[in-house]
Structure 1
Amino acid sequence: MIEYRVKGLSCGNCARTLEEEIKRLDYGDTASLSFASGKLKLDERVPLDRVRQILKSDRAYLVEQPAEQGSGSGHASAMALTEAAHTHDHSNDHSQPHAHEHSGFHDHSQPHSHEHSHEHDHAHSHGSKRMIALLAVSTAIYVAALIMDGRLSSSLAVVCYLLAAALSGYSTFYKGAKNLLRLKFNIDTLMTIALIGAVAIGEWKEATLVAILFGVNELLEGLGMEKARRSMERLLSVAPKQASKLEDGKETIVPIAALQAGDTVIVKPGEKIPSDGEVVFGRSSVNEAAITGESLPLEKGEGDAVFGGSINNEGVIRVRIRKAYKDSSLARILHLVEEAQETKTPTELFIDRFAKYYTPLIMLVAALVALVPPLLLGGDWTKWLYQGLAVLIVGCPCALILSSPIAILSGIARSARHGILVKGGIHLEQLGKLDTLAFDKTGTLTKGEPYVEQMTVYDAERFLAVAGAIEQSSSHPLAKAIMKEVGRAGVTLPEAVDIRAVPGRGAVAECDGASYWLGNENIVEHFNIPESIRAEIEAYKQQGLTIVLVADSAAILGLFGIADEIREESASVLAALRRQGIRRTVMLTGDHAKTAEKVARAVGVDEAFGGLLPEEKVAKVRRLAEEGVVGMVGDGINDAPALASAHIGIAMGKGTDSAIETADVVLMQDHLGKLPEAIRTAKHVNRTIRFNIAISLGLKLAALLLTLPGWLTLWFAILSDMGATVFVTLVSLTILIERKS
Structure 2
Amino acid sequence: MSRTEKEPQASCCSSHAEPEFNVKSTSSCCSEEDASTTSTCYGSDTNTKEDQTATTSSSCSTGESKDKQVEPVDRESKETKTLEFKIHGMDCPSCAATIEKALLKTEGIQSVRVNYGTGKMAVSANDRSVYDLVPDQVHKLGFKAEPLVKNTNMQTYKIEGMDCGSCAMTIEKHLSKNPTIQEVHVNFSTGKMQIDHSTNQNEIIKEVQRAGFDASLDSQRQGTANQKKKWISTTTISGIFLALGFIGSFTSVTPGFITALYAVAILIGGFKPAKSAFYAIKSGSLDMNVLMSSAAIGAALIGEWFEGATVVWLFALGNTLQNRSIERTRESIRSLINLTPSEATIKSGDQLIRKPVEEVEVNAIIVIKPGEKIPLDGEILSGTSSINQAPITGESLPVDKQRGDTVYAGTVNESGSLEVKVTKLVEDTTIAKIIHLVEEAQEKKAPTQAFVDRFANVYTPIVFSLALLVMVVPPLFGFGSWGEWVYKGLALLVVACPCALVISTPVAIVSAIGNAAKNGVLIKGGTFLEKAGAIQAIAFDKTGTLTEGKPNVAEVISLYNNREELIGITRTIEEHSTHPIAKAITIYAEERKISAKKGEDFKAIAGKGAQATINGIEYFAGKPKLFKDMEVPLKEIEERMESLQRDGNTLIVVGTRTEVLGLIAVADSIRDITVQSIQKLKQVGMGEMVMLTGDNDGTAKKIVAETGIDRYFAELLPEDKVIAVKKLQDEGKSVAMVGDGINDAPALATADLGIAMGGAGTDTAMETADIVLMADNLEKLPHTIRLSRRAMNIIKQNVWFSLITKVAALALIFPGFLTLWMAVLSDTGAALLVILNSMRLLRQK
TM range (shorter): 0.7 to 0.9
Instruction: Work out the CA distance in 2 between the residues paired with 1:372 and 1:549.
Output: 96
CA-to-aligned-CA distance 1:187-237 (integer Å, 9 cap, x gap): 112122222322222211111111111111121121111111222222221
CA contact (8 A) 1:279 1:303 kept: yes
- Which residue of 1 is the match for residue 167 of structure 2? 14
CA contact (8 A) 2:574 2:583 kept: no
CA contact (8 A) 1:6 1:60 kept: no
Structure 1 residues 322, 495: closer, same or farther in 2, change over 3 A? Answer: farther
* Aligned partner letter, 1:635: D
- Which residue of 2 is the match for residue 649 of structure 1? 754
- Which residue of 2 is the match for residue 562 of structure 1? 666
Deviation at 1:524?
9.8
CA-to-aligned-CA distance 1:209-266 (integer Å, 9 cap, x gap): 1111111112112111111122222222102222212232221222334445554322
Match of 1:618 among 697, 722, 725: 722
What are the equivalent positions in structure 2 for 1:92-103 lying under 5 Å apart?
A: 96=219
| Corresponding residue SS for 1:565 | strand
CA-to-aligned-CA distance 1:384-428 (integer Å, 9 cap, x gap): 221111011022111112212222222222222222222333322
- In structure 1, the gaps of 5 or more residues are 65-94, 97-116, 500-505
Deviation at 1:332?
3.3
Deviation at 1:467?
11
CA contact (8 A) 1:245 1:265 kept: yes
What are the equivalent positions in structure 2 for 1:463-612 lying under 5 Å apart?
A: 477-478=580-581, 480-481=583-584, 484=587, 490=596, 492=599, 494=601, 496=603, 535=639, 537-546=641-650, 561-612=665-716
Instruction: Work out the CA distance in 1 between the residues paired with 2:804 and 2:379.
Output: 57
Tell me if 1:121 matches 2:222.
yes
Deviation at 1:52?
4.0
Tell me if 1:318 matches 2:419.
yes
- Which residue of 2 is the match for residue 695 of structure 1? 801
Instruction: Work out the CA distance in 2 between the residues paired with 1:553 and 1:353.
Output: 78
Structure 1 residues 29, 581: closer, same or farther in 2, change over 3 A? Answer: farther
Deviates more, 1:708-717 or 1:362-371: 362-371
CA-to-aligned-CA distance 1:540-588 (integer Å, 9 cap, x gap): 2321224567999999998653211112222221111112121110111
Deviates more, 1:487-496 or 1:428-437: 487-496
- Which residue of 2 is the match for residue 190 of structure 1? 291
- Greater relative contact order (Cα 8 A, min sep 6): structure 1 or 2? 2
Tell me if 1:155 matches 2:256.
yes
Tell me if 1:308 matches 2:409.
yes
Identity %: 36
Instruction: Work out the CA distance in 2 between the residues paired with 1:639 and 1:485.
Output: 30
Tell me if 1:174 matches 2:174.
no
Instruction: Work out the CA distance in 1 between the residues paired with 2:211 and 2:659.
Output: 82
Match of 1:63 among 216, 220, 224: 216
Deviates more, 1:424-433 or 1:383-392: 424-433
Structure 1 residues 255, 567: closer, same or farther in 2, change over 3 A? Answer: same
Deviation at 1:21?
3.5
Match of 1:725 among 814, 819, 831: 831
Deviation at 1:683?
1.9
- Which residue of 2 is the match for residue 138 of structure 1? 238
CA-to-aligned-CA distance 1:268-325 (integer Å, 9 cap, x gap): 2332123344545455443322222234445555666533322223543333445555
Instruction: Work out the CA distance in 2 between the residues paired with 1:209 and 1:352.
Output: 29
Structure 1 residues 274, 146: closer, same or farther in 2, change over 3 A? Answer: closer
Deviation at 1:19?
2.2
- Which residue of 2 is the match for residue 109 of structure 1? none
Instruction: Work out the CA distance in 2 between the residues paired with 1:26 and 1:511.
Output: 77
CA contact (8 A) 1:438 1:633 kept: yes
* Aligned partner letter, 1:203: E
Tell me if 1:373 matches 2:526.
no
| Corresponding residue SS for 1:605 | coil
| Corresponding residue SS for 1:650 | strand
Tell me if 1:659 matches 2:762.
no
* Aligned partner letter, 1:565: S
Structure 1 residues 498, 31: closer, same or farther in 2, change over 3 A? Answer: farther
Tell me if 1:275 matches 2:376.
yes
CA contact (8 A) 1:517 1:550 kept: yes
* Aligned partner letter, 1:147: I
| Corresponding residue SS for 1:370 | helix
- Which residue of 2 is the match for residue 428 of structure 1? 529
Structure 1 residues 617, 157: closer, same or farther in 2, change over 3 A? Answer: same
* Aligned partner letter, 1:639: D
CA contact (8 A) 2:318 2:828 kept: yes
CA contact (8 A) 2:181 2:197 kept: no
Match of 1:293 among 394, 400, 418: 394
Deviation at 1:10?
2.3
Deviates more, 1:158-167 or 1:332-341: 332-341
* Aligned partner letter, 2:316: G
Deviates more, 1:694-703 or 1:643-652: 643-652
Match of 1:629 among 724, 727, 734: 734
Instruction: Work out the CA distance in 2 between the residues paired with 1:216 and 1:575.
Output: 48
Deviation at 1:352?
2.1
Tell me if 1:416 matches 2:520.
no
Q: Given the two structures, how large is their TM-score scaled by the length of structure 2?
A: 0.71
Note the aligned Cα RMSD (angstroms): 3.9
CA-to-aligned-CA distance 1:423-465 (integer Å, 9 cap, x gap): 3333223222222111111222112221232467999999999
Q: Given the two structures, how large is their TM-score scaled by the length of structure 1?
A: 0.81
* Aligned partner letter, 1:431: A
Instruction: Work out the CA distance in 1 between the residues paired with 2:703 and 2:315.
Output: 61
* Aligned partner letter, 1:148: G
CA contact (8 A) 1:277 1:323 kept: yes
* Aligned partner letter, 1:674: K
Tell me if 1:383 matches 2:487.
no
CA-to-aligned-CA distance 1:507-563 (integer Å, 9 cap, x gap): 799999x9x997797999999998988755532232122456799999999865321
Structure 1 residues 593, 43: closer, same or farther in 2, change over 3 A? Answer: farther
CA-to-aligned-CA distance 1:93-141 (integer Å, 9 cap, x gap): xx64xxxxxxxxxxxxxxxxxxxx2xx53333444664x6322222221
Structure 1 residues 22, 288: closer, same or farther in 2, change over 3 A? Answer: same
Structure 1 residues 23, 641: closer, same or farther in 2, change over 3 A? Answer: farther
Match of 1:256 among 357, 378, 401: 357
Tell me if 1:244 matches 2:345.
yes
Instruction: Work out the CA distance in 2 between the residues paired with 1:537 and 1:25.
Output: 78
Deviation at 1:611?
1.3
* Aligned partner letter, 1:142: L
- Which residue of 2 is the match for residue 671 of structure 1? 777
Tell me if 1:337 matches 2:489.
no
| Corresponding residue SS for 2:779 | coil
Instruction: Work out the CA distance in 2 between the residues paired with 1:434 and 1:387.
Output: 47
| Corresponding residue SS for 1:637 | coil
- In structure 2, the gaps of 5 or more residues are 1-150
